[in-house]
Amino acid sequence: MRRNLICFGTLFIGVLVLFVWTLVSGPVDVSLSDLAVALFSPDRAEPFHAKILWELRFPRALAAVLAGASLSVSGLCLQTVFRNPLCGPYVLGISSGASLGVALALLAGFGFGAFGVLGAASLGAILVTQVVLVLASRFKNASVLLVAGLMVGYFVNALVNVLVAGADAESLQAYVSWGLGGFTRLTLPAVPGFIAASAVGFALVLVSMRYLNVVRMGDDFARGLGVAVHRSRIMVLLGSSILAGATTAYCGPVAFIGIAVPHLAFMVFRTTNHRILLPGVSLCGAFLALLAGLFPVSIPLNAILSIVGVPVILYVLLKGSNRGGAL
């Protein structure tokens, strides 16, 4: 318990430091005193500094925190439900489904009513999740499910490419800009929407905490303990889809956080208790995303995350191989 408290405290302080660092660092120097004045005495703040902080840097920092936490929790839930350490919103095609929704909104002209791009991304992610869920009921082998998820992702990406081929130049430019991924896309007016979507996703996951803690032992074991397996699985997958879809809508495709961070959290906290892991992966994901966001904009975000994510995945593969080959 003491070790976990130390880990939580260290990660929280690290996230706080990186959040403040994101606010004060950039082409325009903003000191800590300028930041304090803008936060606590906005009437006395320099208008130029206040504009930079509130309209550019604060949304970027908050996007990193929400995206890192959302993708990490989504990845942890998927790895738990499917009992496969290589599952994740990107690997299973859920992020591709969100991309298809955005492509339909930006390239094909589907408005999706008042929900806009967020609704399109979430609907696409939920649709692919349902496909993966059907496949999971047919394929008991986790490795086969992983391959099936990859095939679903390839199929969805092929549909996106068809839409790209028929798009006009203006729509294509908007989609390409979104597809690069990054935390600078979130604007101040869009912040409440991202927070609300993330809150719904987290709530659906949290109400299924008991299911997540016992499902690793199998569905029959969970039913024996009185857990409503089918309902809980739907709640978890729906929450994971909303988290991945919202992040993809507001930040574009962000790779490796969802698959790599849960393993980093396992290394740090050394437990399978989701009451510890869920806040743990949230802090780890927020820390990693904030750290990646501090690199120059000229370096693609997914390139930075790949440098961290690929070694973690290779470590998981090697560890599984040393245990006998089964992941």
- pLDDT tens for each residue of 130-147: 787 777 677 666 567 677
Q: What is the pLDDT of residue 58?
A: 92
The pTM of the full predicted model, rounded to 2 decimals, is 0.86
Determine, yes or no, domain membership for 48. yes
Q: How far apart are CA 112 and CA 101, in angstroms?
A: 9
SS3 assignment, position 181: coil
In a domain, 70, yes or no: yes
Look at residue 50 and tell me if it is in a domain.
yes
What is the per-residue pLDDT for 327?
Answer: 45
What is the number of structural domains in the chain?
1
Contact by Cβ (8 Å): 94, 126: no
Distances (CA, A) of 243 to 95, 126, 199, 310: 10, 10, 9, 22
Chain segment 175-195, per-residue pLDDT in tens: 877 777 788 888 888 899 899
Dist CA 59 CA 110 (whole Å): 27
Burial class (CB in 10 A: 0-12, 13-18, 19+), 39: middle
Q: Residue 239: give its domain's CATH number.
A: 1.10.3470.10
Q: Could you tell me if residue 61 is left (phi over 0), alpha (psi between -120 and 50 degrees) or otherwise beta? A: alpha
Q: How many Å apart are CA 23 and CA 314, to the nearest integer?
A: 34
pLDDT at 199: 95
Average per-residue pLDDT for the chain = 83
Q: Evaluate whether residue 254 is within a structural domain.
A: yes
Poorest-pLDDT segment among 80-94, 99-113, 241-255: 99-113
Residue pLDDT, tens place only, 213-261 = 988 887 788 888 888 888 888 888 888 888 988 888 888 888 889 888 9
Strand residues in 46-198 grouped as ranges (E): none
Biggest alpha carbon–alpha carbon distance for the chain = 64
Cβ–Cβ < 8 Å for 141, 214: no
What the block records as the tokens of 154 is: 């390839």
> Is residue 93 within 8 Å of residue 147, measured between CB atoms?
no
Q: How confident is the model at residue 24 (pLDDT cuts 50, 70, 90)?
A: confident
Pick the closest to residue 290 from 64, 58, 62 (CA basis): 64
Q: Give the residue numbers spanning the domain of 103.
A: 2-322
Q: Indicate whether 78 belongs to any domain.
A: yes
76, 244 Cβ separation under 8 angstroms:
no
Domain assignment present for 327: no
- For position 276, what pLDDT does the model report? 94
